[in-house]
Amino acid sequence: MDVSKKLLIVTFTMFALLTMLLIVAAHTILLSSFSDLEAQDTIKNTGKIEQAIAWEALSIDRTARDWAFWDDTYKFVNTLNPEYIESNLDDSTLYDLDLNVMLFVNKSGVLVYPMSVDLVNMTNVPVPAGLLEQIDSGILTTRENTDYIQGVILLNESPMLIVGRPILTSFGEGPSAGTLILGKYIDSSYISSLEERTQTSLSLYTLNEEMPSDFQDAFDEAASDEGNAVKILGNDRVAGYFILRNTTGEPVALMRADYPRDLYAQGKKTLIYIYGFLLLSGLVIGTATKFSLDRLLVSRLITIDSFLEKVKREKDISKRLEVEGEDEIHRLSKGINEMLSSVRLAEQELKAREYEKKFILDSLEEIVVLRDPNFNIRWANRAALNNKDLLMVEAKAPASDSPQAPDRDIIPKPRYSQAPDCADQEFTSSEGKTWLLRSKPVCDETGNTIAVLETGMEITERKNYEIELFRAKQEAEVANRTKSEFLANMSHELRTPLNSIIGFSDLLYEKVYGELNLKQTKAVGNISNSGKHLLNLINEILDLSKVEAGSFELHYSTFWLAEVFAEVRDMLFPFAASKGLKIELEIESNLPRVYADKERILQVLSNLVTNAVKFSNENGCIRVKAAHMNGFLKITVSDDGIGIAAADHEKLFKPFSQIDSSSSKKYQGTGLGLALVKEIVQLHGGTVWFESETGKGSTFGFSIPFPGRSE
């Protein structure tokens, strides 16, 4: 599909969507506005009917005041004077007043003179029983001179509009003589007359009778909305509702006024005109926009497309595009011309680089071969062509017993899902030269192999050197094992004379053979201390040699760790006390017995605590802790001494390696203690670790398996 058709579809789609959006917006907004206007008009008209009933009540109230605020009425209630009845209360009185009842009630709440007529049939009727009940209950009687009674009461005959006034003198002075009650039925005749006056269809339902569903819904709404409600009765009618209340303000009835939906119908008709106008406007504007875009944009884009197609077909990048104008399309044409010039220059530069690459690769002594995923050769440099037997390595099927045959499993296979590592192999040519061949897949962005790059380097001299180096390594290992075996076998020969020296010097020091002077005692003590130091050094060297020779054995037993801790503390107490150091021991409560080589665990703890005492500041504290954690016995030795710099961490646990290796070093030692600690712990199946920082002390620790065997 060309641009013109796409533009036509896009243009009319956009205008169609815009028109539909406007139609929906107009429909939503205007129709909602018409509905609101209809509701407001309905409430206004319904208010007029409600006002008509209010005017009726006001008219009755004026009559009630005329009769109640009259001296003759005041005397009549107290005396029941017959002259008042003959003069004012004849049979035509209620017909003239257009009232159904007129009741005179004295101040005791007793009905002293009733009048009740049927205005429709023009006959006298009894006072409604419901009205008499409310008089007896005191609801319809006044108590103060300012009291005023007005409302609708429900009677069996029909709802009645009631107005009551206190009976007073003409000047409103003195106590009230009673209550004058006037009433008029809101019956079908009254509703018919009200319909004629308001030109509206009216309906009335009281709360003590079953109301239609719309009345019930409207009553719930009107009760919470100031007594008014509006309901749609269909496409042609709308109704307004208002509540009639009794003398105490409670709802007793609901009146409905029906109106034709002329305003809403006129609004819908107006919307139809608006919809037609919007559709016609969208069609006209869309067509005009399409023709304008065709003239200003599409025709010029077609020119550019035709030019590019011609360049592609003729493969002539020397052509140039000419488009008139000073807009973006004109700048696009200039960009295309510049791009064609750049492509031409890049093509020339690419040819030059290809020549340079070929020249450089042909100058290499290493072979370089590029194969396709099926291992067919695409390109090879001159060194590869001069060693054609190497080019056939990948194609040969390897013999299982031939050391020179390449391993086919390490040759990259076609279509890798992910790029594998490089595959290396060695090959000896017919000339006796050894080559290292490397295959590496070349993958695209999705990880698929598109080629295999092979490189080769002659490693004959390096191979010979590796062989010689391997032989020298074997000879060194044999010599090292011989040395370790020799030192391990020299244990008795070295220890026996030292034990004699230490033993006799201790006897002399203890003056077993006689008294010694001060210088002799000091000399003999130095001999004993030096001998013990030398014996400890020999023991460490021999232990380390046994480890290296593989003859170091552990003798497992079950023991309490507290015994080992106490023995280490007693052994090193003099050394720690000489520097004013405290040794704090903390063992986890309920720790079972340990199953390990007790003497070696003692040696490990002794070495770690000795190391901590040696590098601690005076008057410090050394803390030794033991706990059971995840099946391991974890022991830590912490001090607050000089600490270990990060640069010296790698020297720890190495034999004959010390942090201070200068001739004037402050701390004595051979560097074998921590190395032996590491070996003993590892022989137990455990690990060692340390944490340290310069000037902030050190923490050495080790953990060994804590088996279930315990007593």
- Give pLDDT tens digits for 190-247: 888 888 888 888 888 888 877 788 787 777 777 665 667 888 887 788 888 888 888 8
Percent of the chain with pLDDT over 90: 9
Least confident interval from 159-163, 332-336, 520-524, 541-545: 541-545
Least confident interval from 124-133, 321-330, 334-343, 591-600: 321-330
pLDDT tops 70 at residue 419: no
What's the whole-number mean pLDDT along residues 402-422?
39
Predicted confidence at residue 443, as pLDDT, reads: 86
Closest CA to 149 of 50, 51, 244, 61: 61
**Which residue type is seen at 629?**
M
E strand or H helix at 275, and its extent? helix 262-293
Strands 178-185 and 160-166: antiparallel
pTM equals 0.41
Predicted confidence at residue 669, as pLDDT, reads: 52
What's the whole-number mean pLDDT along residues 444-455?
82
8 A C-beta contact, residue 102 and residue 93? yes
Among 301-310, 401-410, 658-667, which range has the highest average pLDDT? 301-310
Predicted confidence at residue 418, as pLDDT, reads: 40
pLDDT band at residue 572 using 50, 70 and 90 as cut-offs: confident
Residues 6+ apart with CB under 8 A from 543: 552, 676, 679
**Which residue type is seen at 78?**
N
DSSP state of 180: E
CA–CA distance, 597 with 197 (Å, rounded to integer): 120
**Which residue type is seen at 207?**
L
**Which residue type is seen at 516?**
L
What's the whole-number mean pLDDT along residues 611-624?
86
Helices and strands in the chain: count of H runs, count of E runs: 18, 22
pLDDT tens string 356-384: 777 787 777 678 888 888 778 877 887 77
Average pLDDT, the chain: 79
CA–CA distance, 109 with 112 (Å, rounded to integer): 9
